[in-house]
A and B are shown apart, each in its own frame.
Chain A
Amino acid sequence: MAEDALFSIFMDGLFIKNFLLIQFLGLCSFVGVTKDIKSAAGMSGAVVFVMAMASTVSYLLYTYILVPTKMEFLDLISFIVVIAALVQLVEFVVRKNIPSLYRSLGIYLPLITTNCAVLGAVILNENAGYNFAQSVVFGTSAGLGYTIVMLMMAGIRERSTFVNVPSAIRGLPQAFFIALMLSMAFVNYFWVIPI
């Protein structure tokens, strides 16, 4: 039962509750850093790390510090502190080891702090009442779902620069059309609309 539940939570995060295309969280990075696969992959790696770590740390924080002291109302602010610290950590590491990626991500790397997808994952964990393993699995799979969509989007956008489209649609409008079609595909395949 337990393993089965973990697997279904994993698939939830990956497809059924996909953060970008079904819950529409973290969209600014979705449009902003998907111009090429390399920076999309770098951003996704950072988000996966931050989401997984934030889920872990905030679960421990919530269950072992906030709940026993009856300070549950501090959840938002303490989660934000945790996420901000993790983002800083990622920024240090990326800046040290992959300076070219640091430059191509630009403002979007520090913006993971305010990336609603990360806070969303943490809050959803809390609301669903997941235990430790479930929280970690959901956080990680949400990050991986983000990665899948980011890579698909970046791949399509890289190739679509060679397509002849009217100049009015070139650039960001084209990205929005691509996002629309990707989202329709995701909704139809992984999240059947009840009629």
Chain B
Amino acid sequence: MSELVTLLVKATAILGGLGLAVGVMLVVASKKFKVETNPLVDEIVEVLPGANCGACGYAGCADFAERVVNEGAPINGCPVGGFDVAKEIGGIVGQEVAEGEEQYPFVRCNGGLNCVDRFEYVGFEDCKAVMMLSDGEKGCNYGCMGRGTCVRACPFSALSIGEDRLPHVNKNLCTSCGLCIASCPNDILVFAKESEKVHVLCMSHDKGKAVKESCTVGCIGCKICEKSCPEEAIKVTNFLAEIDQEKCTACGLCVEKCPQNTISIR
């Protein structure tokens, strides 16, 4: 018994002594090699969400904080933190933030199961892989492949592929970092502001006949919406309707008139 105790005491003493010696050495070294950092940088790092996702365009949260203080990077540069974080950073460095509107990724395709398949794809479940085979198995070359490349790109699991084989955005989880938008090989996802109510859910520039053959909800470029809009906010160019969000008042006339139900209001 006493042997065990002496062993324990000895071991504790050796490790403790070692730890103490090392600790003292490190304290002295840290005093000697102290780096003068701007205290503002540390404060901003505290405020930032710390996801280190790189969506701000810098190496990480710490790098962003340093750039804000030293190089005047935009204080609302953090898309994850959004307006609240920008306001706090503004409080630290003494800048006012204009309230920006929240924007979320928006799916510009309503194809999914409404779109005809040209062949049966068997292989790796990834949009980019599907696109390698003659631009995918869909009859439409502009639409969503529905294989979830964006879902896997999202670090916050805000996206999911629904029953209709289309991605859906969960706004509660979304931080508007834009990684899904960057990952989409067909540019289906775009940022849309909350106030922008009316959207064309199609990206096809094919002629009307070709669209009708492949997809039941695609834009055929018939210009009925263009004629029906009282604000002249819609323009059809190259067989695809586009909405000028500045002019649109979300009256819903075009949504009613569209024969293909391509335009939707939310």
A residues with CB within 8 A of B: 61, 65-66, 69, 71, 74, 77-78, 81-82, 84-85, 88-89, 92-93, 95-96, 99, 103, 106
Complex Cα–Cα for A78 and B15 (A):
7
B14 & A95 in contact (Cβ 8 Å cutoff): no
28 residue pairs A–B, Cβ–Cβ below 8 Å? A61-B18, A65-B14, A71-B10, A71-B11, A71-B14, A74-B11, A74-B15, A78-B15, A81-B15, A81-B18, A81-B19, A81-B22, A82-B18, A84-B22, A85-B22, A85-B25, A85-B26, A88-B26, A88-B29, A89-B25, A89-B26, A92-B29, A92-B30, A92-B33, A93-B33, A96-B34, A99-B35, A103-B63
Q: List chain A residues, Cβ under 8 A from B10.
A: 69, 71
Q: List chain B residues, Cβ under 8 A from A77.
A: 15
Please name 9 further chain A to chain B contacts, defined as beta carbons within 8 Å, in addition to the given A71-B11, A92-B30, sorted by A numbering: A81-B15, A84-B22, A85-B25, A88-B26, A89-B26, A93-B33, A95-B33, A96-B33, A103-B59
Cβ distance B176 to chain A, nearest Cβ, rounded Å = 26
Also in contact, A74 and B14, with CB within 8 A (given A81-B19, A82-B22, A85-B22): yes
Cβ distance B60 to chain A, nearest Cβ, rounded Å = 9
B35 & A96 in contact (Cβ 8 Å cutoff): yes
Q: List chain B residues, Cβ under 8 A from A71.
A: 10-11, 14
Q: List chain B residues, Cβ under 8 A from A78.
A: 14-15, 18
Could you give, for residues 129-171 of chain B, a 1 whenever the CB lies within 8 Å of some chain A CB and a 0 otherwise? 0000000000000000000000000000000000000000000
Complex Cα–Cα for A65 and B33 (A):
30
Cβ distance B123 to chain A, nearest Cβ, rounded Å = 16
Cβ distance B51 to chain A, nearest Cβ, rounded Å = 16
Complex Cα–Cα for A130 and B63 (A):
45
Complex Cα–Cα for A76 and B19 (A):
14
Could you give, for residues 28-62 of chain B, a 1 whenever the CB lies within 8 Å of some chain A CB and a 0 otherwise? 01101111000000000000000000000001000
Q: From the candidates A69, A92, A93, A99, name the one contacting B14 in the complex (CB within 8 A).
A: A69
Q: List chain A residues, Cβ under 8 A from B26.
A: 85, 88-89
Q: List chain B residues, Cβ under 8 A from A81.
A: 15, 18-19, 22
| Minimum CB distance partner of B21 in chain A | A85
Q: List chain B residues, Cβ under 8 A from A65.
A: 14
Q: List chain A residues, Cβ under 8 A from B33.
A: 92-93, 95-96
Complex Cα–Cα for A85 and B33 (A):
15
Q: List chain A residues, Cβ under 8 A from B35.
A: 95-96, 99
Complex Cα–Cα for A66 and B14 (A):
8
Could you give, for residues 1-31 of chain B, a 1 whenever the CB lies within 8 Å of some chain A CB and a 0 otherwise? 0000000001100110011001001100110
Complex Cα–Cα for A65 and B16 (A):
13
Q: List chain B residues, Cβ under 8 A from A89.
A: 25-26, 29
Cβ distance B256 to chain A, nearest Cβ, rounded Å = 47
Complex Cα–Cα for A4 and B113 (A):
78
Q: List chain B residues, Cβ under 8 A from A95.
A: 33, 35
Complex Cα–Cα for A61 and B18 (A):
9
Cβ distance B24 to chain A, nearest Cβ, rounded Å = 10
| Minimum CB distance partner of B17 in chain A | A65
Interface centre among A65, A66, A81 (most CB of B within 10 A): A81
Cβ distance A113 to chain B, nearest Cβ, rounded Å = 13
Complex Cα–Cα for A91 and B82 (A):
34
Complex Cα–Cα for A99 and B32 (A):
16
Cβ distance B25 to chain A, nearest Cβ, rounded Å = 7
Complex Cα–Cα for A92 and B22 (A):
14
Cβ distance A84 to chain B, nearest Cβ, rounded Å = 8
Complex Cα–Cα for A82 and B26 (A):
11
Cβ distance A79 to chain B, nearest Cβ, rounded Å = 10
Q: List chain B residues, Cβ under 8 A from A66.
A: 14
Complex Cα–Cα for A170 and B163 (A):
36
